[in-house]
Chain A
Amino acid sequence: MSVLPYLVAGWIFLIGCYGLATSRNLIHAVGCLAVCQASTYVLLLAVGYRDGGTAPVFSDLRPGARPVVDPVVQALTLTDVVVGATVTALLLALVVQVGKRHGTVNPDELSELRG
């Protein structure tokens, strides 16, 4: 098993964090959070990958005939996608409200909560 997918997952997570830390726009920041989450998809799918494996769908496949990739991590990834959609939708709704109330979506200009 190649180590490359794990490095890619780590890189995606860190680049998402970099984007969050330097973001000048809250919509961009929520997008960066989604990038961070994408790293979890890559990692989970990499964990379940089997060399020469096929999709774990047994309608046209005799069990044991050939290796299949791990279906558990695919279920986890699907759950993760649902969680991500909820979080992103809610956060974008909050950004809309921040834009309305503060008149800006630049985090550098939000100064209500300090010290």
Chain B
Amino acid sequence: MTPAGTLAPAAATTLTPAATLPLIVATPLLGAAFLVAAGRRMPRRAAETAGTVFAAATAVLALSVLLRGTSGDVPGARAVEWLGGRHPHGGAGVGIVLVGDRIGVGLAAVTSLLVVAVLAYSWRYFDEPPHRQAGTFPALVLIFQAGMCGFALTGDLFNAFVFFELMGVVAYALTGYRVEEKRAVQGALTFGVVNSLGGYATLLGVGLLYGRTGELGFAQIGARLAAHPTGSSGGGPDFLVLTAFVLVLTGLLVKAAAVPFHFWLPDAHAVAPTPVCMLLSGVMVELGVYGTARVYWTIFAGPGGIPTADAHRLLLTLGTLTAVVGALMCWQQRHLKRLLAFSTVAHTGLFLVGLAVMTPEGTGGTALYVLAHAGVKAALFAAMGILLDRFRSVDEHELHGRGRELPLVGVVCAVGGLALAGLPPFGTGLGKAVTEEAAGGWQAALFVVVSAVTGGAVLRAVARVFLGLGVRPEAAGQAEARTDETSGKDEEPETAGPLSRIPDTMLAVPVVLLAGALAVGVVPGLHAAVGRAADAFLDRAGYTAAVLHTPPAASVPTPGPHWSAAGVALGLLSAALACLLARWAVRHTGPTRQTRWAAPVRRLHSGHIGDYVAFILAGMALVAALLLPSVH
């Protein structure tokens, strides 16, 4: 029934790492095809088991590539696979290439592991599977997995667009999976229109780059741009390359939810089924950040591309704006899933600031941060899903004190909130500490404050929902509905009816995910590997050499991320600050009293597709303006 599951261990010993790469994309696709073909005749339990087995087999394949080193014993090197054996001849070719360096394969592995967790979580979820089709949900999740793994592994710009759209389309369908829900269909539609528009902008950029260089591969385009630097003095980009960069970046920044491209994210994440939220917030948004960095470092980092100083200015500005707006909006939310969605926006901003450091240290720290954040954020969403299915609500005020009967869920949320704030020894704390150290100055303060505010918002919700602290909303007599915010009341549970007892899998998954985030912080071997991975990621010459089979240049390894005294201190400071913020909020602010000065920013999140499209155009103009000084 599940050939890939039984083949995977045998295949791992006979296949070279390069030959394994296509299987990482193909296995989930085969699984999805199998479920669509056979799902009609399968009982629900069998379909879900098959889906989990295919996802787990993919995870095994990705991990096997990681553990064996991506290409023999050369440190930091990459596995390169030309699909169908279509190698380039004499520097020219139309073949499609998959490139597995540690960051790419690592992301594919994290994605696959999270998909396994999500399928296990939804095992008892959706007590009403769609009529006739038990395999629909696992099949869609597997296609989503294939799109994300393909995006992480591809070495070809047009293929990146195709995988981008593949994961996009499946994500829209999964977001609107419960078509009876008013909010779900609206959120899915906004998500679809905004992301597709971004994707088309990316394709325009791909077309312009092809017109200039006649190539579609990352390495090939980069090599051609470097070989014929435009402009009289060489070095910087000309107007066409700049336009192409802005267009390509637009789609990736929409996916990464950088302000002002982020408006779709809270609308989609607040309404998607909880298992889907875990994937959207845990890895899909981060893949947008990955794509931005990958495209910059492989194509535009060389001569004829965008100079480092200009890219630094762009990423730092966007990242700071995103982190501040995300943290501000996160603090204002009472809809708990929306609160977590805005915390994802805030953390994406921090990731962009981390990439803006432009050194292996900053990139390695960001990679660890992304890795641990995926576990923490998915665990928090999983816990919110339990609340939703138990109480038919994810509203902080309505749930006041009602969480007392679920102490374990409360502990998961509290630990997740502290981890989000960067408490050592969680991986989020280490990633944050290393990135802070690399960025330094006011950016370190930004990391502390933003992570403390998002963690504090979660802790505030924990204090109200699970401990029943603060003023009861009814007692305060302020139960009237406000028109300018999304409450979490009257949500339909995603199971057949409200749960009377929480299934073990739904509790075990968030606990395991948090343990994973903890492991990211304490396993030293992983830190060394991430350090080498970051070196390789920023090594444009090495990437080009590996793809085009030219002799690689030697590179000096940077030490991997590690705990330092200052890092631990700053992590403890963030966590303490988060606790203080939560305490202050519960004591001193009424349940529905809103900060007036934040109202203008809240009003921008209007839920209107037209507004969001206008903001995308404004964002493109902002990106172009930030890069304009680099043009010759």
Which residues of A does B touch, CB under 8 Å? 9, 13, 17, 20-23, 26, 29-30, 33, 36-37, 39-40, 43-44, 47, 72-73, 76, 79-80, 83, 86-87, 90-91, 94-95, 97-98, 101-102, 107-108, 110-115
Check if B613 sits within 8 Å of A20, measured CB to CB: yes
Once A21-B613, A73-B207, A115-B332 are accepted as A-B contacts, the answer to whether A98 and B186 lie under 8 Å apart by CB is: yes
Check if B172 sits within 8 Å of A90, measured CB to CB: yes
Q: Which residues of A contact B185 (CB under 8 A)?
A: 94, 97-98, 101
Expressed in whole angstroms, the minimum distance between the Cβ of A19 and any Cβ of chain B is: 9
Expressed in whole angstroms, the minimum distance between the Cβ of B243 and any Cβ of chain A is: 9
Check if B200 sits within 8 Å of A107, measured CB to CB: no
Residue with the highest number of chain B CB atoms closer than 10 Å, among A13, A97, A108: A97
Q: CA A112 – CA B491 in complex, angstroms?
A: 12
Q: CA A86 – CA B187 in complex, angstroms?
A: 18
Expressed in whole angstroms, the minimum distance between the Cβ of A114 and any Cβ of chain B is: 5
Q: Which residues of B contact A9 (CB under 8 A)?
A: 204
Expressed in whole angstroms, the minimum distance between the Cβ of B629 and any Cβ of chain A is: 23
Check if A17 sits within 8 Å of B613, measured CB to CB: yes
Check if B193 sits within 8 Å of A29, measured CB to CB: yes
Expressed in whole angstroms, the minimum distance between the Cβ of A22 and any Cβ of chain B is: 6
Expressed in whole angstroms, the minimum distance between the Cβ of B622 and any Cβ of chain A is: 15
Check if A94 sits within 8 Å of B211, measured CB to CB: no
Q: List 17 A-B contacts (CB under 8 A).
A: A13-B204, A17-B197, A20-B610, A26-B609, A30-B193, A39-B204, A40-B204, A47-B208, A47-B211, A76-B207, A79-B162, A83-B165, A83-B169, A97-B176, A97-B185, A101-B181, A113-B266
Check if A90 sits within 8 Å of B169, measured CB to CB: yes
B607 at the interface (CB under 8 A from A): yes
Q: Which residues of B contact A39 (CB under 8 A)?
A: 200, 204
Check if B609 sits within 8 Å of A23, measured CB to CB: yes
Q: Which residues of B contact A36 (CB under 8 A)?
A: 197, 200
B271 at the interface (CB under 8 A from A): yes
Apart from A13-B200, A114-B602, 10 more pairs, CB < 8 Å: A22-B610, A26-B189, A29-B193, A33-B193, A39-B204, A47-B207, A76-B158, A98-B186, A114-B607, A115-B332
Check if B608 sits within 8 Å of A108, measured CB to CB: yes
B555 at the interface (CB under 8 A from A): no
Check if A40 sits within 8 Å of B196, measured CB to CB: no
Check if B186 sits within 8 Å of A102, measured CB to CB: yes
Q: Which residues of B contact A47 (CB under 8 A)?
A: 207-208, 210-211
Q: Which residues of A contact B613 (CB under 8 A)?
A: 17, 20-21
Check if A40 sits within 8 Å of B483, measured CB to CB: no
Check if A40 sits within 8 Å of B203, measured CB to CB: yes
Check if B609 sits within 8 Å of A112, measured CB to CB: no
B309 at the interface (CB under 8 A from A): no
Residue with the highest number of chain A CB atoms closer than 10 Å, among B267, B603, B606: B606
Q: CA A9 – CA B610 in complex, angstroms?
A: 21
B270 at the interface (CB under 8 A from A): yes
B380-420 interface code vs A (CB 8 A; 1 in, 0 out): 00000000000000000000000000000000000000000
Q: Which residues of A contact B193 (CB under 8 A)?
A: 20, 29-30, 33, 91
Q: Which residues of B contact A101 (CB under 8 A)?
A: 180-182, 185
Check if A111 sits within 8 Å of B200, measured CB to CB: no
Expressed in whole angstroms, the minimum distance between the Cβ of B338 and any Cβ of chain A is: 8
Expressed in whole angstroms, the minimum distance between the Cβ of B436 and any Cβ of chain A is: 31
Q: Which residues of B contact A22 (CB under 8 A)?
A: 610
Expressed in whole angstroms, the minimum distance between the Cβ of A61 and any Cβ of chain B is: 19
Check if B200 sits within 8 Å of A37, measured CB to CB: yes
Check if A33 sits within 8 Å of B197, measured CB to CB: yes
Once A13-B204, A17-B613, A107-B610 are accepted as A-B contacts, the answer to whether A115 and B602 lie under 8 Å apart by CB is: yes
Interface residues in B92-106 (C-beta closer than 8 Å to A): 94
Interface residues in B577-632 (C-beta closer than 8 Å to A): 602-603, 605-611, 613-614, 616-617
B316 at the interface (CB under 8 A from A): no
Check if A21 sits within 8 Å of B614, measured CB to CB: yes
Check if A113 sits within 8 Å of B189, measured CB to CB: no
Expressed in whole angstroms, the minimum distance between the Cβ of A64 and any Cβ of chain B is: 16
Expressed in whole angstroms, the minimum distance between the Cβ of B395 and any Cβ of chain A is: 13
Among A13, A37, A108, A115, contact of B603 (Cβ-Cβ < 8 Å): A115
B258 at the interface (CB under 8 A from A): no
Q: Which residues of A contact B162 (CB under 8 A)?
A: 79, 83
Check if A115 sits within 8 Å of B485, measured CB to CB: yes
Expressed in whole angstroms, the minimum distance between the Cβ of A38 and any Cβ of chain B is: 9
Once A90-B172, A101-B181 are accepted as A-B contacts, the answer to whether A73 and B210 lie under 8 Å apart by CB is: yes
Expressed in whole angstroms, the minimum distance between the Cβ of A18 and any Cβ of chain B is: 9
Check if B183 sits within 8 Å of A94, measured CB to CB: no
**Closest 8 CB pairs between A and B?**
A115-B485, A47-B211, A113-B607, A115-B602, A97-B185, A20-B613, A101-B182, A21-B610
B167-186 interface code vs A (CB 8 A; 1 in, 0 out): 01100110010011111011
Once A20-B197, A90-B173 are accepted as A-B contacts, the answer to whether A112 and B210 lie under 8 Å apart by CB is: no
Expressed in whole angstroms, the minimum distance between the Cβ of A101 and any Cβ of chain B is: 4
Check if A43 sits within 8 Å of B192, measured CB to CB: no
Expressed in whole angstroms, the minimum distance between the Cβ of B233 and any Cβ of chain A is: 25
Check if A111 sits within 8 Å of B203, measured CB to CB: no
Q: CA A80 – CA B179 in complex, angstroms?
A: 27
B465-494 interface code vs A (CB 8 A; 1 in, 0 out): 000000000000000000111100000000
B458 at the interface (CB under 8 A from A): no
Check if A113 sits within 8 Å of B486, measured CB to CB: yes
Q: CA A23 – CA B190 in complex, angstroms?
A: 13
Check if A43 sits within 8 Å of B204, measured CB to CB: yes
Q: CA A83 – CA B472 in complex, angstroms?
A: 50
Interface residues in B310-367 (C-beta closer than 8 Å to A): 332-333
B188 at the interface (CB under 8 A from A): yes
Chain A residue at minimum C-beta to C-beta distance from B606: A114
Q: CA A97 – CA B485 in complex, angstroms?
A: 23
Check if A90 sits within 8 Å of B200, measured CB to CB: no
Among B188, B201, B610, contact of A94 (Cβ-Cβ < 8 Å): B188
Among B168, B207, B485, contact of A44 (Cβ-Cβ < 8 Å): B207
B420-444 interface code vs A (CB 8 A; 1 in, 0 out): 0000000000000000000000000
Check if A29 sits within 8 Å of B609, measured CB to CB: yes
Q: Which residues of A contact B483 (CB under 8 A)?
A: 111, 114
Check if B176 sits within 8 Å of A94, measured CB to CB: yes
Q: CA A73 – CA B210 in complex, angstroms?
A: 9
Expressed in whole angstroms, the minimum distance between the Cβ of A73 and any Cβ of chain B is: 7
Q: CA A22 – CA B610 in complex, angstroms?
A: 6
Once A22-B610, A114-B483, A115-B484 are accepted as A-B contacts, the answer to whether A94 and B192 lie under 8 Å apart by CB is: yes
Q: CA A94 – CA B271 in complex, angstroms?
A: 14
Q: Which residues of B contact A23 (CB under 8 A)?
A: 609-610
Expressed in whole angstroms, the minimum distance between the Cβ of B505 and any Cβ of chain A is: 30
Expressed in whole angstroms, the minimum distance between the Cβ of B45 and any Cβ of chain A is: 29
Chain B residue at minimum C-beta to C-beta distance from A1: B211
